[in-house]
Amino acid sequence: TSETSLQFLNSLNAAQLQAVIHAPTAPLQIMAGPGSGKTKVLTSRIAYLILHHLLPPSSICAVTFTNKAANEMRERLGKLIGKQRTSEVRMGTFHALCALFLRKLSDAVGIKSNFTVCDADESKKIISGLLKPYKDYMSSKDISLKDGTVLSLISKAKAKGLTAKDFIAEYRKPGKAPSSAFDPQDDIQHIVGNIYQDYEKSLRRSNSLDFDDLLLFGVKLFAGHPPATSWCSHVLVDEFQDTNMTQYELLRALGAATNGCVTVVGDPDQSIYGWRSAEVENLAKMNKDFVGTQQIYLEENYRSTASILKASLAIVSQDKSRIPKRLLTSHPFGTTPVLLSFASEQAEATFIAVEIKRLVASMGGVLRWSDFAVLLRFSALSRAIESALQKEAIPSAILGGHKFFERQEIKDILAYLQLVDNPNFNPALIRAINIPNRGVGEKSISALVARADKTKMSPFEVIELIYDSKQPDIKPAMKHKVGPFVRTVRALRKLATEGASPPDLVQRLLDLIEYEDHLKKTQPDWESRWENVQELITFASDVEHTVNLPNSDSIDPNLIPSDTPLRLFLQASMLSSEGDHHREEDGQEKVTISTCHAAKGLEWPVVIIPAVEQGTFPFYRTDDVQEERYVEVLYGTTKKRRLLYVACTRAQSLLYLSHVSKRKFGGETKTKEISEFVATATREHSTIFTSRTSQLPAAERDVISRVLRRPLAQEAEVTRRVTEFRKTRRYLDFNDAGQPEVPWHPASGLSPESPRQIGSPVNS
């Protein structure tokens, strides 16, 4: 290792350096606040293990929370150790890691290597079918349980490692006598327990695993089958605070295989998934499971100005159960975060668009579109924002909005390919058989599935037999109806076995089922859907070229059935997580619109958080209050306050929060109040927010340029840009008293009589 290659150590502070060079064989926990360089330390430690301790890159396992985070880490690591070595490091989510090894070593846990990953959408459909028999009973008891709620309850049980049997047993706890009195909680537990059992059967019959199964079977494999872990020399986990119990078991199994060569980093305050205190439990568990675990704390925040940290901490410290932590920044105070109130969501959205434009212009080139992020509690809030940005001609991209692989048209195509790979996968058959519409009704499908169950064949095999006239038909018309369907799947299967590439397979499929015509006939917005299908082809060829799944040379190759290109492609599409796939076709600068969840671990110079209201932070789905309550009663609340904290701490130099007094949502206009999280924080600390936006004084502009390490443009250049910008007429400006002056513009959605709708002070 040359000295220059270890130069990156110079960019670390003392505590960070200590963490990076900490003995590789001693288990290590780094718990620290946002922006303190945890991810930077993790990446540097990987580089140090490879460059200084000479561990083979392929023996290092780095777990990230999303694929996007894995890609970012790959990029950062590439700069430290080069692309080649980086590509050998096994880096990805727990799910991707499990899927990879389950394919390779499926026999060890009693599944077939061509299992299909069942996504939440398909799971919901299965559950919705299983719920039907309970309809009458539920309405007699005044219980409403929806497929989504049941799935989330099952998923939470699985994440805790509870099987269906355990789940039912827990409901019959000793001392909890079955009451004759009405007890909705018992009823729900009972129904969910039964559905859980049937759901599992249905998945196994379809030769499929849902996302939770990937982890559960992964634990089985890693804990009980040495070849699955023998390659591993060191495990590192980012965002450890959000690992659930099953994921922790994975870490434990891998860690045991390496004799405790484990590094985890995280921040309990940023735990936003799971349930109360799981993160604390996992920290404590780690101390027990890995003897001699050491903690290193990082206290310096390098991301945000002091004013942003102060406001963020005021919000999170309302949580009285929280363990106080020190967080310092050497950045100056900067601009006080802005808290605004608006009359309507249009006024809010217009303000956001106009303000972004104003900042870009007034910062004289220091800020670009891509420096802005609008972070939303849920993606449905994006509509008003998107259209306001569009009106102002500001380019934007949605991160983690409507997920690409959840689109109808994408699922149609994938269903055919899943069926080609795994003929047992019923959800795919049910979807594909009527694409394009072949008039195969629900009853016929149930009959098919029933016959398949009886004869221990897959429903697709039954259809094939009907088609080949080797089995008496269910209905004479059936053979005719399913003809093109069977021929299509067979043709694709033949191509796939001949080794056709996934993009070719998709292309051939589109021709065979005349999919473009189908879209034209059935979808008013067929053009954008057709574009998405083209995008899928691009994705398919990208997978083909990169295949940057961790390599597997250290496993005995004789054990490994080779993955077909089709299987790799399907796997990559099923495991692509929130925000992984959004188009960046032109490399153009864009404002990011994202959910708060998908923003985890990321940072932007300017962060804007609209809809900071009761009902949003914390979030209640109004029509689902009953269901939400059940989930809460059974499993505790989700980490609502922390989510706002995570969102606020993404900001480097400017932070905006806003709320409205009336919001139209789902066709209804509702009166809204400011989020209690912010209201209580401002009651205790009255100066953490300001309700005034004004031209940034020179000193504050200076801070921004220093925090971002970007030089400010010359004053003359700033003046030129501002003047040019004013000519466009769509701007917010401020009079000498610092009050906003809102020029009326038809596109702003404001009437000339109500200029004060924008930027009126919060508490007046």
Chain residues that interact with ligand ATP, rule: CB under 6 A: 11-13, 16, 32, 34-40, 267, 270, 302-303, 601, 603
CB of 470 to ligand ATP, least distance (A): 59
Q: Which is nearer to ligand ATP, 44 or 748 (CB)?
A: 44
Q: What is d(CA 729, CA 394) in angstroms, rounded to the nearest whole number?
A: 15
Tokens (6 digits) for 439: 């008039």
Q: Is 239 one of the annotated active-site residues of the chain?
A: yes
Binding-site residues sit at 32-39
Closest alpha carbon to 458 in 489, 436, 437, 483: 489
CB of 411 to ligand ATP, least distance (A): 32
Select the span of 19-27, 35-43, 345-353, 678-686 touching Mg ion (CB under 5 A).
35-43
Catalytic residue among 88, 119, 239, 700: 239
CB of 39 to Mg ion, least distance (A): 3
Pick what 267 binds: ligand ATP, Mg ion, none; C-beta below 5 to 8 Å, kind-dependent.
Answer: ligand ATP
Q: Site size for Mg ion, by CB under 5 A?
A: 3
Q: Which is nearer to Mg ion, 39 or 638 (CB)?
A: 39
Residue number of the CB closest to ligand ATP reads: 37
Q: Which is nearer to Mg ion, 38 or 331 (CB)?
A: 38
Select the span of 31-39, 279-287, 562-570, 692-700 touching Mg ion (CB under 5 A).
31-39
Residue with tokens 């109360």: 276
Q: Which is nearer to Mg ion, 69 or 414 (CB)?
A: 69
Cis peptide before 436 (omega within 30 of 0): yes
Residue type, 680: T
Pick what 11 binds: Mg ion, ligand ATP, none; C-beta below 5 to 8 Å, kind-dependent.
Answer: ligand ATP
Tokens (6 digits) for 291: 């003897």
Q: Which is nearer to ligand ATP, 59 or 66 (CB)?
A: 66
CA of 497: how far to CAs of 393, 490, 492, 567, in Å?
49, 11, 9, 12
CB of 235 to ligand ATP, least distance (A): 18
Q: Are 256 and 172 in contact (CB under 8 A)?
A: no
Using CB under 5 A as the binding rule, whether residue 243 contacts Mg ion is answered as no
Element containing residue 380 per DSSP (H, E): none
Closest alpha carbon to 334 in 374, 365, 305: 305
Pick what 171 binds: Mg ion, ligand ATP, none; C-beta below 5 to 8 Å, kind-dependent.
Answer: none
Element containing residue 261 per DSSP (H, E): none
Q: Which is nearer to ligand ATP, 68 or 411 (CB)?
A: 68
Q: Is 38 one of the annotated active-site residues of the chain?
A: yes
Phi first, then psi, for residue 294 (nearest 5°) are -110, 150
Using CB under 5 A as the binding rule, whether residue 503 contacts Mg ion is answered as no
The 3-class SS string of 516-565 reads HHHHHHHCCCHHHHHHHHHHHHHHHHHHHHHCCCCCCCCCCHHHCCCCCH
Tokens (6 digits) for 183: 């007890």
CB of 159 to ligand ATP, least distance (A): 22
Q: Which is nearer to ligand ATP, 270 or 573 (CB)?
A: 270
Select the span of 30-38, 219-227, 524-532, 573-581 touching Mg ion (CB under 5 A).
30-38
In the chain, the largest separation of any two C-alpha atoms, in whole Å, equals 87
Cβ-proximal residues to 218 (8 Å cutoff; 6+ apart), any chain: 94, 97, 98, 101, 102, 250
Cβ-proximal residues to 294 (8 Å cutoff; 6+ apart), any chain: 22, 26, 27, 28, 29
Kindly report the CA angle at 541 between 238 and 82, in degrees rounded to 5?
Answer: 45
Residues 565-604 interacting with Mg ion (rule: CB under 5 A): 601
DSSP state of 437: -
Pick what 35 binds: ligand ATP, Mg ion, none; C-beta below 5 to 8 Å, kind-dependent.
Answer: ligand ATP
Tokens (6 digits) for 703: 């801070």
Q: Which is nearer to ligand ATP, 589 or 603 (CB)?
A: 603
CB of 402 to Mg ion, least distance (A): 26
CB of 35 to ligand ATP, least distance (A): 4
Residue number of the CB closest to Mg ion reads: 39
Quote the distance between the C-alpha of residue 328 and its chain's center.
29
Q: What is d(CA 170, CA 137) in angstroms, rounded to the nearest whole number?
A: 22
Residue with tokens 């390659």: 231
CB of 302 to ligand ATP, least distance (A): 3
Using CB under 5 A as the binding rule, whether residue 39 contacts Mg ion is answered as yes
Pick what 658 binds: ligand ATP, Mg ion, none; C-beta below 5 to 8 Å, kind-dependent.
Answer: none
Catalytic residue among 403, 650, 663, 701: 650
Select the span of 32-40, 92-100, 683-691, 695-703 touching Mg ion (CB under 5 A).
32-40
Quote the distance between the C-alpha of residue 722 and its chain's center.
38
Catalytic residue among 212, 238, 249, 386: 238
Q: Is 252 one of the annotated active-site residues of the chain?
A: no
Pick what 530 binds: ligand ATP, Mg ion, none; C-beta below 5 to 8 Å, kind-dependent.
Answer: none
Q: Which is nearer to ligand ATP, 499 or 711 (CB)?
A: 711
Cβ-proximal residues to 516 (8 Å cutoff; 6+ apart), any chain: 510, 526, 530
Catalytic residue among 64, 270, 649, 682: 270
DSSP-derived 3-state class of residue 718 = helix
Pick what 503 binds: ligand ATP, Mg ion, none; C-beta below 5 to 8 Å, kind-dependent.
Answer: none
Catalytic residue among 16, 29, 39, 336: 39
Q: Which is nearer to ligand ATP, 280 or 722 (CB)?
A: 280
Phi first, then psi, for residue 656 (nearest 5°) are -125, 135
Q: Is 238 one of the annotated active-site residues of the chain?
A: yes
CB of 32 to ligand ATP, least distance (A): 6
Closest alpha carbon to 379 in 531, 588, 598, 661: 598
Distance, first Cα to last Cα, the chain: 64
Closest alpha carbon to 214 in 318, 321, 93: 93
CB of 608 to Mg ion, least distance (A): 21
Pick what 619 binds: ligand ATP, Mg ion, none; C-beta below 5 to 8 Å, kind-dependent.
Answer: none
Cβ-proximal residues to 600 (8 Å cutoff; 6+ apart), any chain: 65, 66, 69, 239, 270, 272, 646
Pick what 36 binds: Mg ion, ligand ATP, none; C-beta below 5 to 8 Å, kind-dependent.
Answer: ligand ATP
Q: Is 650 one of the annotated active-site residues of the chain?
A: yes
Pick what 618 binds: Mg ion, ligand ATP, none; C-beta below 5 to 8 Å, kind-dependent.
Answer: none
Q: Are 655 and 283 in contact (CB under 8 A)?
A: no
Binding-site residues for ATP sit at 32-39
Residue type, 41: V
Residue type, 157: A
Q: What is d(CA 37, CA 56) in angstroms, rounded to the nearest whole number?
A: 25
Tokens (6 digits) for 456: 């221990």
Q: Which is nearer to ligand ATP, 305 or 693 (CB)?
A: 305
CB of 591 to Mg ion, least distance (A): 22
Burial, 53: exposed, middle or buried (Cβ in 10 Å; 0-12, 13-18, 19+)?
Answer: middle
Pick what 122 binds: ligand ATP, Mg ion, none; C-beta below 5 to 8 Å, kind-dependent.
Answer: none
Residues noted as catalytic: 38-39, 238-239, 270, 650
Interface with Mg ion by CB under 5 A: which residues? 38-39, 601
